Structure 1
Amino acid sequence: MPAKGVKSDTQTPTSDTEDFTFPTTSKQDDNATNTQPRPSTFLRSVRKFLKPRKYKRSEEKTIGSSSTGVHPVSSDSQPNTPRIMMVQVDAEKEKRYRHDVCEKYFKEIRSYLKDKPTMFHLVDEDFAIDNTVVDTNLVALKKKIVAVASKQPYWGEEVPARWILLERELMRLKDAGIKVIPRILLEAFNQAEDVPIPTEELDLFLKFHNDIGTILYFSIEELKDKIVLVPQWMIDAVKSLITADEMFFLRNAPVVARKWETFNKSGQLYPELIDAIWTKEKYPDLHDNKEHILLLMEHLNIIAKPRCFSEDGSEIKVDNYFLAPCMLKEKTPENIMFPKSDPEMKSSSSVLCYNFVEKFLPSPIFHRLLATCVSRWPIAQTKSENQIFCGCCIFSLDLHHRLTVLFREYVIFVHVFRFGTTELTPSSKLCITVQEFITMTLTSIIGYLGRALKFEMYVRCPRSVGYGVDCLIPVADLQGNVDVPCHFHDIHVIRSQDVLKFWFQEEEPSDAGPSDVATSSAPTSDTDRFMCIAYLLVDVGSRVLRQLLSHHTVSSTCTLDQYLAKNISTINRLTRVFNPSQMDIMFPTNGDDTNLDDYDITLLSALFQNIVPTLSQQEKNMIKRLREERNKLYAHAKSCLISACDFQTYWNDISSTLITLSQQCGDTAFEAQILQEIQRTKVSAIPAGSYLDILKTWFDMIQNVTNRLQALEAKTKSLTSDS
């Protein structure tokens, strides 16, 4: 049976199987013993059971047998025949035994994982491979891997044929042992090819290969000048820091040994330690590209530069070390894990919880979130010790507020405390800022990683003690100023206003007039929620897709009009895709240039699907998802209403898609602008003028469909009368 080990409340889980112990199958002889091997002895146990067993042969003497072996016989009546049959029976028994052992192991593994999200990633076949022999199961396993891979959305994705020559050049450089090259050198190789990739398309080529994992390249200002040809080299660089040998540092200078102890305990990575590991003699490539690797690690949120402030509130620049959250090992103290409850919430906010719906949250996502938070807020200190632990960190928001960000199982907890002033209640404005930042950061991380993870917001019951995954109430159930009964403790009622006021409602300015208050409150009615989602799709969504189209088609040598003109023959063939009104937008009859601001989601989606071959499959899937959400909201909506629960689902799906697409536009300023707009849209009511814009858009779309139906009806009548 699987081990019934209980995870520590303060340790960050790293996998679904970290506490799983493989069972030992007892032998069927008299000397069997029931033991429970550690996970590290699993391979030994399997080999032991797969090893052929020796069976006792019959000691019975038979006529015609010799001391050297069994002689062949020609008659069934000969006494040697039963002995030969006994050997065959033993072989079959050995085969069945091995099969039963493997089946038992696979059954135990699947039983252990049956209630975990990992179960959805298991295939329907099991393969037991013996590495000590040429196992025929290995061929079957390879075929299964290809069969599973071919079902992935990126399989069979088409790329321009002119990319092949430069791809071969990349492979040649890799085979030559080159790990990283300047971009200017790749551009020179490209221009030397018989069919070079256009300059404006080279970024897309590099981005595509970064997405599929063949290279590592980012177009941001700090990283765009170098291309990592071997992503594994980058992984080895990080691994060399994390798994450095302790004896190496004990033999090194005392200052380096102390730095290693600090890094191993608290995750503080000092330059002296990096230089000691990445020496010219041991790691010449890492040594020569140290600055670029550290910038990559920062960009990927593997490490972060912590922020620090002086007593007067001014920021102090910290250049002497990085923080690596993945290295944290110290358990969270009991007084932090189980803080004194505050049912009245006089000195602390309610606890906001990011609950991942599939009960699965990979720890690297939390580590990235923590690294991003470290670069925004200073880590709180107690007796000169940083309050950062395995799966938890406390930040100083200002002189009177502290923020706890804690990870347990599949939930991220966010909690704000106020102290040291006569005003005890935490600032709602500050809490909202924290909520917006963490929500957008999580959404951005998930979108960047391309994971299909979803989270929902909950709040913890104020009577709960500690950070447990029970006693959580969905925010969607509390919206609308309602009272919700708590079924986890003695029956009591939770007032939504008491627990949501910290995170979803700004403090009203004392000099604010009625109009100011109306525009600063979050959408609470079903109609407001509907308009909020519609605004996100129509306004923000169209803006992102326009920018993405411009990124893929417009360059210093090609305008959008020229790009459309080059593809006019393809567009003319797609009469069922582009209607007359869309053709007028792309090719104005008055001779003016096409205006990208007139392109809506439907037209943009059609262009991406048909005449932009450089679009990746991931981008196509996300654009298709946006179009489907638009159709669901416009074409199939029975009313202009969205419930609180549906609103959260819509919001998470659409906002994460838009954030990911904005990251593909190659403009960090635009990406930040979209993040800010999404942030503002969720916590602010949509201005009244926008309602009219949205309704006008819908009216134009409906009118367009009506006109087309009338034209089709007239054509049908004409054909009928002619016949």
Structure 2
Amino acid sequence: MLQRYRHEICEKYFKEIRSYLKDKPTILHLVNEDFAIDNTVVDSKLVALKKKIVEVASQQPYWGEEVPARWILLERELMRLKAAGIKVIPRTLLEAFNQAEDVPISREELDLFLKFQNDIGTILYFSLEVLKDKIVLVPQWMIDALKSLITAEMFVLRNVPAVAKKWDMFNKSGQLSPELIDAIWTKETYPDLHDNKEHILLLMEHLNIIARPRSFSEDGSEIKVENYFLAPCMLKEKTPERVLFPKPDTEMKSSSSILCYNFVDKFLPSPIFHRLLATCVSRWPIAQRKSENQIFCGCCIFRRDPHHELTVLFKEYIIFVQVIRFGTTEKTPSFELCIDVKEFITKTLTNIIGYLGHSLTFEMSLQCPKYLGYRVDCLIPLTDLQRNEDFSCDFHDDIHVFRSQDILRFWFQEEVITIVPNFVPSDSTSVGNMPSAPNNDTDRFMCIAYLLVDIGSRVLRQLLRHHTVNATSTLDQYLAKNMNTLNRLKRVFNQSQMDIMFPPTGKDTNLYDYDITLLSALFQNIVPTLSKQEKDMIKTLREERNKLYGHAKSCQLNANDFQTYWKDISSTLTTLSQQCRDTAFEAKILQEIQRVQVSAIPAGTYLDILKTWFEKIETVEGVLQNVATRLQALESREKSSGSESYI
């Protein structure tokens, strides 16, 4: 009877969980079986659970990846230290163990080993100058460190009542003082945390779990760093109504349109927003009202300068961003400030999602300007605004019309220029045959150079993202999976290129740092999914670059040559943009190509860029002619000598 009762309780519990998650993306990560484990006894079902965990793990994309056999010895040493209960070690200890081996690996390869272990979650290690000297063997230890602070109320009340008010401040508003940390992480209560306090706090800052707030000095002339930390995950105060539903703008205040990061699966875990908020807190001062910080659970108002405030707000599955300007003379928020905010938040969100290994994606939208406050039910996709000069909004009882530029101009000045009314790509659209705008030889050269340098790089970056980034793999993970190949091709990839792919700072790689030289080499070596058509088109771009370089000394193109270059390059870029399988990106590239042809190109150093490309790519292509033969010889020699093997 008791057994049946327990079974019914478990069935009800699992049914409630699955019912709650059925309309959420998380449902895709659930297995069919349910496991009810009694952790008060040695439950026989644990064996079945372990078996299922191994089965699921073996289906992950990283399962079966090849790693150098010499790494196994280092992995075993880390596991031995973990088993001994050691939480953190100096890097010098692992270096000493490595040097004691018969065939130690190089310092560069040791860096790769540690980065790989960090990426797969085995350890926590970053090569930043302030963090590189220690290796955290148990990542869970960081969670335990924060947990020890969050659950320390009774300890504080019993043992250190003098800092009870500081604990209350931390519990309510997320302000974590050094005095509270010292009071809790004592030598007696948490010896490991006490001995490694500085390193733990630096790690928490680097991971955007906590942040040191900034504030303006009393005279407003400089920004100072506060002597406490802020933990966004601890914020409990709800966002005030005056923020959620502000009053209409007065003559002394004007607002930008509201930029929205709309997560397409209608799912946004709060820790992602907390990390975004921590990053923003470490960059911009928090605004104040009556000496109180304007930061709440799910929202923060920042003081960007004496005239501008920035609101970053989280609601359901959307992040809202708005800039407000105060003043009597200039009544429009700074476009430059808005664009800087957009670029920073976009890059930060992308990095956080990539580091956490989430498959989440977001789209940019703008909120209908008729609404005051922040609403999730009146968002206009960016692509709709870019394709329509006037937009008819039907989110209300009465349809109203506004100019797309009026809300785009704050965040997307470039896109405002490139709006093409009612533009719909079709088979009859031929960017290569459009009439030529440049009217002298120098302008023609600069126009084609811009087409290759700027637009060409953007298309190839997006193409690399399409072939390497998906729901289960970030670019960093893709590169880590291919690090053996990259490491063996040191004559192809120089140290500066390796530093771009594997930043020494420990940060994630930034695709915007990849130039056409590095992109071309990656496509040839580690992107097996590239189709023959794509390879041929990339080859066409290189050939057109080489031909254009022949004109570089004069920086001039006659009308006939310009037409030939334009037709070949623009059609190639258009087709490659289609291969990226992103209609919004494709439309943007088409619009940009059209804009370039009817606009003057600003004077730039495209000649220097072309020379750099030519020298670097010629070096790469020369090496690639013999690299296959050399690799075969190298692998054959290594296997015969037994100095290296892969599993």
**What's the TM-score once normalised by structure 1's chain length?**
0.63
- Tell me how many residue pairs correspond in the alignment: 516
Give unpaired runs (5+ residues) of structure 2.
426-430, 432-449, 466-474, 495-513, 540-571, 589-599, 622-647
Question: Equivalent residue of 2:305, what SS?
Answer: coil
Match of 2:444 in 1: none
Match of 2:525 in 1: 607
Q: Does 1:232 align with 2:140?
A: yes
Q: Does 1:51 align with 2:2?
A: yes
Match of 1:349 in 2: 256
Given the superposition, is the C-alpha separation of residues 685 and 201 from structure 1 closer, same or farther in structure 2, using an over 3 Å criterion? Answer: farther
Q: Structure 2: which amino acid aligns with 1:646? A: D
Q: Tell whether the 8 Å contact from 2:461 to 2:519 is kept in structure 1 after alignment.
A: no
Counterpart Cα distance in 2 of 1:212 and 1:549:
10
Given the superposition, is the C-alpha separation of residues 359 and 113 from structure 1 closer, same or farther in structure 2, using an over 3 Å criterion? Answer: same
Match of 1:503 in 2: 411
Given the superposition, is the C-alpha separation of residues 157 and 455 from structure 1 closer, same or farther in structure 2, using an over 3 Å criterion? Answer: same
Of the candidates 267, 287, 300, which is equivalent to residue 393 of structure 1?
300
Match of 1:336 in 2: 243
Question: Equivalent residue of 1:493, what SS?
Answer: strand
Question: Equivalent residue of 1:259, what SS?
Answer: helix
Q: Tell whether the 8 Å contact from 2:320 to 2:374 is kept in structure 1 after alignment.
A: yes
Q: Does 1:485 align with 2:485?
A: no
Given the superposition, is the C-alpha separation of residues 290 and 600 from structure 1 closer, same or farther in structure 2, using an over 3 Å criterion? Answer: closer
Residues 177-576 of structure 1 aligned to structure 2 (within 5 Å): 177-249=85-157, 251-254=159-162, 256-341=163-248, 347-480=254-387, 482-489=389-396, 490-505=398-413, 534-538=456-460, 560-561=490-491
Q: Structure 1: which amino acid aligns with 2:458? A: L
Q: Structure 2: which amino acid aligns with 1:358? A: D
Q: Structure 2: which amino acid aligns with 1:607? A: N
Of the candidates 45, 52, 75, which is equivalent to residue 144 of structure 1?
52
Given the superposition, is the C-alpha separation of residues 395 and 237 from structure 1 closer, same or farther in structure 2, using an over 3 Å criterion? Answer: same
For 1:272-319, what per-residue CA distance to the aligned partner results, in whole angstroms no more than 9, with x for missing partners? 011001101111111111111111011001111111112543224324
Question: Equivalent residue of 2:411, what SS?
Answer: helix
Question: Equivalent residue of 2:225, what SS?
Answer: coil
Match of 2:65 in 1: 157
Given the superposition, is the C-alpha separation of residues 548 and 51 from structure 1 closer, same or farther in structure 2, using an over 3 Å criterion? Answer: closer
* Residues 102-111 or 373-382, more deviating: 102-111
Q: Structure 2: which amino acid aligns with 1:120? A: L
Cα RMSD between the aligned structures?
Answer: 4.5
1:180 is displaced (CA, Å) by 1.3
Given the superposition, is the C-alpha separation of residues 629 and 190 from structure 1 closer, same or farther in structure 2, using an over 3 Å criterion? Answer: farther
Counterpart Cα distance in 1 of 2:320 and 2:239:
14
Counterpart Cα distance in 2 of 1:624 and 1:339:
53
Question: Equivalent residue of 1:397, what SS?
Answer: strand
Q: Structure 2: which amino acid aligns with 1:338? A: F
Question: Equivalent residue of 1:293, what SS?
Answer: helix
Q: Structure 2: which amino acid aligns with 1:202? A: L
Counterpart Cα distance in 1 of 2:406 and 2:87:
56
Given the superposition, is the C-alpha separation of residues 207 and 687 from structure 1 closer, same or farther in structure 2, using an over 3 Å criterion? Answer: farther
Q: Tell whether the 8 Å contact from 1:308 to 1:316 is kept in structure 2 after alignment.
A: yes
Q: Tell whether the 8 Å contact from 1:303 to 1:324 is kept in structure 2 after alignment.
A: yes
1:244 is displaced (CA, Å) by 1.4
Counterpart Cα distance in 1 of 2:27 and 2:18:
8
Q: Tell whether the 8 Å contact from 1:523 to 1:529 is kept in structure 2 after alignment.
A: no
For 1:577-608, what per-residue CA distance to the aligned partner results, in whole angstroms no more than 9, with x for missing partners? xxxxxxxxxxxxxxxxxxx9996645434534
1:139 is displaced (CA, Å) by 3.6
1:473 is displaced (CA, Å) by 0.3
* Residues 288-297 or 169-178, more deviating: 169-178
1:647 is displaced (CA, Å) by 5.5
Q: Structure 2: which amino acid aligns with 1:206? A: L
For 1:112-146, what per-residue CA distance to the aligned partner results, in whole angstroms no more than 9, with x for missing partners? 22211111112233344455776655443333222
Counterpart Cα distance in 1 of 2:331 and 2:493:
61
Match of 1:171 in 2: 79
Question: Equivalent residue of 2:312, what SS?
Answer: strand
**Overall identity of the aligned pairs, in %:** 66
Given the superposition, is the C-alpha separation of residues 213 and 158 from structure 1 closer, same or farther in structure 2, using an over 3 Å criterion? Answer: same
Counterpart Cα distance in 2 of 1:114 and 1:376:
39
Question: Equivalent residue of 1:164, what SS?
Answer: helix
**What's the TM-score once normalised by structure 2's chain length?**
0.69
